[in-house]
Amino acid sequence: MRIEFKMEGGLAHFPGLARPVCIDSEQLSQEELVELENLVEKVRFFELPSRSAPPTKGAADYYTYTVTVKAGGRRHTVRLTDPMEDANLQRLITVLRTRAKALHSP
Amino acid sequence: MTGEANHRFIPIRCILPPHILRSIAEKGRPEQRTKALQTLATDGTFRALRAGMPTKGQAVRRRFGALAAEGEKQRTIFDAHSTQTLPGDVVRIEGSQPTGDLAVNEAYDGLGITYDLFWEVYDRNSIDDEGMALNATVHFGQEYDNAFWNGERMVFGDGDGDLFNRFTIAQDVIAHELTHGVTADEVDLTYFFQPGAMNESISDVFGSLAKQRVLDQTAAKADWLIGAGLFTVNVKGVALRSMKAPGTAYDDPVLGKDPQPAHMKDFVRTYEDNGGVHINSGIPNRAFYLSAIELGGYAWEKAGRIWYDTLRDSRLRPNSGFRRFGRLTVSNAGRLYGVGSAEQQAIRNGWDQVGIVIP
């Protein structure tokens, strides 16, 4: 499995944090890989619409995430904005954000 | 199904007047406090719903506005308990004593100073000028590095503790979020490209003014930083943005370098960040700063008044960019202080110095 993750927006634009990252299953521990695979399955990632519902009118400073998952010969990209209602989707993004931040750190 | 099954009877809501509920909310046992707070908050929510109904007609708006007492804040702080479920549990309501939770108290106080700026200086009664309840949720998500306005409420994360502190730590950030509500109510500047950057700049302007006013700072004394205190000691930077010197707020190995331009010649063309809304806002931010410095004294008095009147100007449209906003500020300065006045010239000079020439 391979995941591409990009985070934009928020209260400020930080060029360092907005850099896209690539998370390859080979870089992950067995435990991390199992959690990510489970979350991808639980949120039915490959069936998600390519864009989540647009933010409420007037909303501002929300994060937008672009996530591409390649696994088992399939590939799908979704664009999501905070806040998200699905707890598993929230967890997936939290895991990816944490991983991305670690990759951004020198 | 019986009628009884369709109704949840909540005695505490039916019997007790608000002042008793407030007393229980402060002095009762934990379960009593929770019920009393929820009841009081529900009452406020209904009032907010009435005041916030999507009515466009001015006459109808005024009718609802008559229900709200002018100048009376109505703050409710909710706790999401590190989940991303909104709104969370009510933990502090208007008039109740501080809790032991710093984020709760900072949100409460921050909403208060912002309300006071709009009410006491610009005669605006809350977000919608109709006394709308101010609702904020703290402790949103786990190690959540952000604060945002979701169209109805302000939401604050705790930060990861590594790069960011809690997002309620900066009063100007709280005021920034509340101002997004004000802008949405007045003109709803499209959150993309220049109108979006103008939207962001307006939030920075009134965010900074709320902070300057509570600190009793003149334009010359103010730091003109947005979000000072948000970064931990691990970050090489002082704040999220600098209105005085856009592009200089941080330069850090992880966050990167502050990307804000200070002049139109450096305008950033991008699709990132909703078309650079937090990037190019540096240009109108600096125009405001320069005008306020030239005007002298307290920035919220003249420059702030001109910006506020422009935000309410019917000639401002959802697709307005920097030039149109700038032209309207010069027009409003002329209306308020006289055509050809020193005030009008100061506003024109501010825009001129960031590369926006207004005849």
B170-188 pLDDT, tens digit per residue, is 999 999 999 999 999 999 8
Q: Structure tokens of B348?
A: 């024109």
- B137: distance to nearest CA of chain A, Å? 12
Chain B contact for A86 (CB, 8 A cutoff): no
Contacts of B6 (CB under 8 A, 6+ apart): none
CA dihedral over B339, B345, B348, B350, signed as positive or negative: negative
Query: What's the confidence (pLDDT) of residue B70?
Result: 74
Q: How buried is residue B11: exposed, middle or buried, by Cβ count under 10 Å (0-12/13-18/19+)?
A: exposed
With contacts defined as CB-CB under 8 Å, which chain B residues touch A61?
A: 146-149, 176-177, 180
- Residue from the list B150, B184, B240 with its beta carbon closest to the beta carbon of A83: B150
pLDDT of residue A106: 76
Site from A61, A91, A103 to mutate, B interface, most B CB atoms within 10 angstroms: A61
> Given a cut of 80, is residue B302 above it in pLDDT?
yes
* Neighbouring C-alpha atoms within 13 Å toward the C-beta of A16: 18
- How many Cβ atoms sit within 10 Å of the Cβ of residue B288? 28
Domains of chain B, by residue range, sit at: 18-169, 195-352
Closest to A13 (Cβ–Cβ): which among B155, B162, B273? B273
Assigned architecture for domain B18-169: Roll (3.10)
Summarised one tens digit per residue, pLDDT across range B225-238 is 999 999 999 999 99
Band of residue B347 on the pLDDT scale cut at 50, 70, 90: very high
Pair B241, B249: CB distance under 8 Å: yes
Cross-chain residue pair A104–B148, CB shorter than 8 Å: no
CA distance B307 to chain A (A): 19
Q: Tell me which of B4-8, B25-29, B134-138, B175-179 is least confident.
A: B4-8
Q: How far apart are CA A56 and CA A82, in angstroms?
A: 10
Contacts of B163 in chain A (CB under 8 A): 101
Q: What is the mean pLDDT of residues B280-307?
A: 98
Query: Is the predicted pLDDT of residue B246 greater than 80, yes or no?
Result: yes
Q: For residue B24, count other CB atoms closer than 10 A to its CB.
A: 18
Confidence band, pLDDT 50/70/90 cuts, at residue A53: confident
Q: CB distance from A95 to chain B under 8 Å?
A: no
Name the CATH superfamily, with its identifier, for domain B195-352.
Neutral Protease Domain 2 (1.10.390.10)
CB contact under 8 A, A11 and B146: yes
**pLDDT 10s digits, B33-74:** 665 565 555 444 444 433 333 333 343 444 344 455 677 999
A25 touches chain B (CB under 8 A): no
Of B142, B203, B272, the CB nearest to A8: B272
How much is the pLDDT for B114?
Answer: 98
Is the pTM of the predicted complex or chain greater than 0.95? no
Partners of B152 on chain A (C-beta within 8 Å) are: 56
Share of chain B above pLDDT 90, in %: 80
CB pairs under 8 A between A and B: 118
The set of catalytic residues of B is 177, 278
Q: Do B150 and A57 touch (CB under 8 A)?
A: no
CA angle, B156 then B161 then B162, to 5°: 130
Q: Which of A87, A90, A106 sits opposite B253 (nearest CB)?
A: A106
Which residues between 26 and 55 in chain A have a beta carbon less than 8 angstroms from any beta carbon of chain B? 55
| Model confidence at B203: pLDDT above 70 | yes
Distance CA B197, CA B191 (A): 8
Q: Which residues pair with A4 in a beta bridge?
A: A22, A68
Residues of chain B in contact with residue A56, where contact means CB-CB under 8 angstroms, are 150-152
Considering only CB atoms, A13 lies closest to which of B160, B253, B278, namely B278
Give the Cα separation of A39 and A20 in Å (integer): 20
| Residue A101: both structure tokens together | 């931040």
A11 to chain B, closest Cα gap in Å: 6
- Short-list B19, B158, B24, CA closest to B88: B158
List pLDDT tens digits, range B85-128.
999 999 999 999 999 999 999 999 999 999 999 999 999 999 99
Q: Report chain A residues whose CB lies below 8 A from the CB of B155.
A: 83
Of the residues B78, B146, B187, the best mutation for testing chain A's interface (the one with the most A CB atoms within 10 Å of its CB) is B146
Contact residues, chain B, for A64 at CB < 8 Å: 274
Asked if A105's CB is within 8 angstroms of B227's CB, the reply is no
Put simply, whether A91 touches B (Cβ < 8 Å) is: no
A58/B86 CB distance under 8 A: no
Q: Which helix (H) or strand (E) holds B78?
A: strand B75-79
Regarding an ipTM greater than 0.90, the answer is yes
* Percentage of chain B modeled with pLDDT above 70: 81
Judge: A104–B254 Cβ closer than 8 Å, yes or no.
Answer: yes
- Measured CA to CA, the distance from residue B237 to residue B235 in angstroms comes to 6
Q: Where residue B29 falls among pLDDT bands split at 50, 70, 90?
A: low
Same fold: B18-169 with B195-352: no
Residue pair B22/B106 in contact (Cβ under 8 Å)? The answer is no
Q: Enumerate residues 6+ apart whose C-beta is below 8 A from B318.
A: B187, B188, B189, B190, B195
User: What pLDDT shows up at residue B49?
Assistant: 39
